[in-house]
Structure 1
Amino acid sequence: MTSPFEALLPSTERALLHRVAVAQSEGRTPSFVGAVAREGAMVWSGARSCVDGHAPDADTQYRIGSLTKVFTAVLVMRLRDEGILDLNDPLEKHLPGTDVGETTIAQLLAHTAGLAAESPGPWWERTPGTVRPKLADVLGDEPMLHPVGRHFHYSNPGYTLLGSLIEALRGVSWEEALRGEILEPLGMTRTSMQPVAQHAGGWAVHPWADVMLPEPSEDLGLMAPAGQLWSTAEDLCRFARFLAQGDDRVLGAASVEEMRTPASAPGAGDWEGGYGLGVQLLRKDGRTLIGHTGSLPGFVACLWVSVEDGVAAVALANATSGPLMASVAADLVRIVAEAEPRFPEPWRPMPEGEVDQELLDLAGPWYWGTYAFGLRLGPDRGATLEPLSGVGRRATFRALPEGGWIGLNGYYLGETLRPVRRPDGSVSHLDLGSFVFTREPYEQSDAVPGGVDEAGWRGL
């Protein structure tokens, strides 16, 4: 059977190319490449250029700036999954002597370590890394601006520290770890530390005149883990698939989902955005996007993934300032998701071997006090508990080997839901983090804390 996701409709492709054309024109950028992946495969790419008859393609390298941070975060999460570190470990435990060692690895990943946004001294993005040969040069005399763990404050030096942490624990360079642990397994052969032909040149476009100036391309040295990489639209579509689904050769689906989970509150007035563990989060057009933006002199970039829609978009341009790349990439996702919405998986009953009569007896309505909830059984013996009125706390649960379930999201994240049985084996009630759910509202039994009036329900 032919997959419905192999190609986009001509009308959708035209809308995508139109968005790229508008971004290149109104953003006044020498060239612009856009690409869309659906269900893990690139299904469209398009480009516009200021050179008549010539445009880059999905295999043209652009510098991706802070998108590099996601790769660094993946390397850290691999160390965690291997048991080499704990995210709650202070940095000092593994990388002593930095003078910011009380900050935890998780705080560095989520930009809540309190560190300054930039490195002191000359503009680090336009000067060689040899200007900052040691971590002390990157951090400066006063690296801390905020109390540890209190605020989200984006920090490039924070990811420099994470890069040095990776090198200390792996015993190889950050570049070597990146290549062997991420790029090669994912087939990202066109992602590199330095530009490799075919690549775009970086330009500054005058804000008040239609003239340009070439931008330098520096090796960032110790700060490479914060923004060094060059990549292509096609390679980033491969990375988008990984961010949506995980890949056991690199990082399992559960750990990638953990990276996508909000880890720090957004700043004041920025309630549409957030940050996970090395991953930016954006709520736009009614959907959640995960990925990262990036910029270095001469280049701007963005990668967004809508896991729910199965759609990802890449936007790359070679201008220091220009199109709002986060908006352009979000628009590319929206165009595809709205014009060609994802087909739901066909409904199928449970496999015969998964039918468990004891679990089946638990399905249906339950009451917390007078609030009505429904317990619905799902795949792999999982469950969903949701308010029947549509208002209230909803959560999905994963089955535990010893029985019962553990909450996967919302208010009940990490809480245990379990049936409590009477001596005769019948179910008395459900216990959810000490909340009691009975089959009838305020059922006459000893299960309801505080008891139930013996006279029962009455009128006025």
Structure 2
Amino acid sequence: MTAQERLERAVRRVQADARVPALSVALHRADRSLWTCTVGDSGNPGHPLDADSRFRIGSVTKTFTAVLVMQARDDGLLDLDDPIAQHLDVPAHGTATIRRLLSHTAGFQREPYGDVWDVLVAPDDAALLADLARAERVLPNNRRYHYSNLGLAVLGQLVAKLRGGTWASVLHEQILEPLGLTSTTVEPTGDAVVGYLVDTYSDAARPEPQLDMGGASPAAQIWSTAADMARWAAFLASPEIVDPGALVLAPETVDEMRWPQTTTDETLWSGGFGLGLILAPQGKRIMHVGHDGAMPGFLAGVYGRRGGEGNPGALGAAVLASSGTATEINELVHELLGLAVEADPADIRPWTPGRAAPEAYRSVLGPWWSEGFAHVFSWHDGTLQSRGADAPADRPPSIFRPLPDQPDLLRTVSGREAGELLRLTRDADGTVVRMHWATYRFTRVQETFDGIPVSTG
């Protein structure tokens, strides 16, 4: 069975077992053509289900709003630790910081004020903010993770104000257009599929109503195709490949979004939340980053894969379903990402010789000792790197970058001790004889803290 046949079989199995009226799936990767698969019926006369069919993506919308916030931060319009009231006129809860709202740790109640899911009428932009006076702060700031549609909706109103437009217009100008997501819209289009509630005790399926989210649109309004969402997932995993010109966001900023801010379950640390992104560890230093989504009649899973053997980069999957209860699709997206590298791993690139280390750093290369442990410094891919001598092979090295006009003072830009300085000390002929990293002394032989070689009598 070919790799594509295995992928298709997994999709068809979930569509049948979970009883999904329409299922659309796409897989994006840097080294292959886009793969798509659709199974079922759109429920939309004259618009049969195909790769161009639009589905609601629900809370996957939040990842777009989060990127808009980070764009505003990078453009100097806000700081993540600013209280929301510094930028937005709110009647209550203005002390909540932007960072806490992004990571669902601000304590906001889950939904906008009122019984939105009962009356199926969402507040408009102005009402959503005005009703903060009646909304609860159900937990103290930073007490714990508590998912909140209201919190992300407020952030959507924030970026709209800062950019001088609506959330929808800012979304289109800042993300959809530059990234080429031409099939992603705020409103449903003519080829939108019908969302259903499938009866648990029979084969009946009843159409669900379409709710316009109004002022809460930044949390859950978007419609899209599986192909667009797989590209979006690939961007969240590998922005340097999908968006090499950083038209949407710098890779370093997306990396910041992927850093865990909180765990989602204090007793089972199997998942976390970054800045607007769900983090789903897969073991062996493999992380799936993205978001799930749910709206009446629809479920979505949109994730990109980072790390792991056989990963070609820009590996993203999207699973969009026209059933509000087929939770099996939430596992399918992760299964497809794993299956992609298992059944069709990326080609192994041959090693080729590169340039030697610059003269200034050649005496740094090799083993050094600190706190009784050995570390190996090397030069690869144009950078000075360090690894613990006993570190697992899949643990990323620390990477250093010299400060401008200070070649003997280097910043740790990634890996262990990220952010800390590495200071080189040379003898009269320029050979590096001692180093200090995060203030800890590094020497060529194993020494006690007071500088006595351990091997001396």
Output the TM-score relative to the length of structure 1: 0.89
Aligned to 1:71: 64
Contact 2:90 2:129 in 1 (8 A): no
Shift of 1:450: 2.7
Amino acid paired to 1:266: T
- Quick one: which of 294, 316, 320 aligns to 2:324? 320
223-232 or 24-33, which moves further after superposition?
Answer: 24-33
Task: Indicate the residue corresponding to 2:306 in structure 1.
Answer: 307
Contact map agreement 1:289 1:306 (CA 8 A) in 2: yes
1:294 matches 2:287: no
- What are the residue-to-residue correspondences of 1:79-118 with 2, within 5 Å? 79-118=72-111
2:346 is equivalent to residue 342 of structure 1: yes
Distance in 2, Cα, partners of 1:43 & 1:126: 41
Q: Which residue matches 2:219?
A: 226
Number of residue equivalences? 440
Output the CA distance in 2 between the equivalents of 1:197 and 1:349: 55
Tell me the residue number matched to 1:356.
358
Q: Deviations over 1:206-260 (max 9, x none)?
A: 1222111111111111100000000001111222332233231111111111111
2 CA distance for matches of 1:439 and 1:412?
Answer: 20
Matches of 2:248 and 2:391, distance apart in 1 = 42
Query: Deviations for 1:29-60, whole angstroms, at most 9, x for unmatched residues?
Result: 111111111117652111211589x9622211
Q: How far apart, in 1, do the equivalents of 2:131 and 2:271 lie?
A: 28
Counterpart secondary structure, 1:134 = helix
Name the CA distance, whole Å, in 2 between partners of 1:406 and 1:20.
46
Q: Does 1:436 align with 2:441?
A: yes
1:386 has 2:388 as partner: yes
2:176 maps to which of 183, 190, 203: 183
Instruction: For residue 65 of structure 1, report the CA deviation from its aligned partner.
Output: 0.2
C-alpha contact 1:62 1:318 (8 A) present in aligned 2: yes
Taking the aligned partners of 2:384 and 2:371, their CA distance within structure 1 comes to 24
Q: Deviations over 1:132-171 (max 9, x none)?
A: 8513465462421112123111111000110110111111
More moved, 237-246 vs 360-369 = 237-246
Deviation at 1:130, TM superposition (A): 4.1
Q: Distance in 1 between matches of 2:22 and 2:93?
A: 41
Between stretches 174-183 and 34-43, larger displacement belongs to 34-43
Distance 2:227 2:142 in 1: 37
Q: Does residue 372 of structure 1 match 2:371?
A: no
CA 1:42 to 1:153, structure 2 compared with 1: closer, same or farther past 3 Å? farther
How far residue 74 of structure 1 moved from its aligned partner, in angstroms, is 0.8
Letter matched to residue 432 of structure 1: W
- CA 378–47 in structure 1, closer or farther in 2 if over 3 Å, else same: same
Q: Name the stretch that deviates more: 149-158 or 170-179.
A: 149-158
Q: CA deviation at 1:357?
A: 1.8
Cα 1:428–1:39, aligned 2, differ >3 Å: closer, same or farther?
same
Task: Look up the equivalent residue of 2:306 and give its one-letter code.
Answer: V
Could you say if the C-alpha distance between residues 81 and 344 of structure 1 is closer, same or farther in structure 2, counting changes exceeding 3 Å?
Answer: farther
Name the SS for the 2:85 alignment partner: helix
Equivalent positions of 1:33-44 (< 5 A) are 33-39=24-30, 42-44=33-35
Contact 2:363 2:432 in 1 (8 A): no
Structure 1 CA distance, aligned partners of 2:54 and 2:410? 47
Give 1:3's aligned residue: none
Distance between the aligned counterparts of 1:392 and 1:234, measured in 2? 31
In structure 2, the CA distance between the partners of 1:48 and 1:389, relative to structure 1 (3 Å rule), is closer
- Structure 1 pair 275–344 and aligned structure 2 pair: CA distance change class (3 A): farther
Q: CA RMSD in A?
A: 2.5
- Structure-2-length-normalised TM-score: 0.89
3-state SS of 2:263 partner = coil
How far apart are the structure 2 equivalents of 1:212 and 1:274? 34
**Structure 1 residue 409 displacement after superposition:** 4.3
Structure 1 distance, partners of 2:233, 2:164, is 28
> Is the CA contact 2:232–2:316 (under 8 Å) kept in the aligned structure 1?
no
Structure-2 separation of matches of 1:456 and 1:178: 64
How many angstroms apart in 2 are the aligned matches of 1:413 and 1:33?
A: 41
Structure 1 gap ranges (5+): 1-9, 443-447
Match of 1:5 in 2: none
Is contact 1:233–1:316 with CA below 8 Å preserved after alignment?
A: yes
- Deviation (angstroms), 1:393: 8.9
Q: Return the offset for 1:381.
A: 2.4
SS at match of 2:382: helix
Superposed CA offset, 1:353-412 (max 9, x none): xx3122121011011132111112222324133233659997422312333433344541
CA distance in 2, matches of 1:63, 1:393: 38
Which of 290-299 and 113-122 deviates more?
113-122
Write out aligned runs for 1:246-261 (5 A).
Answer: 246=239, 247=243, 248-261=246-259
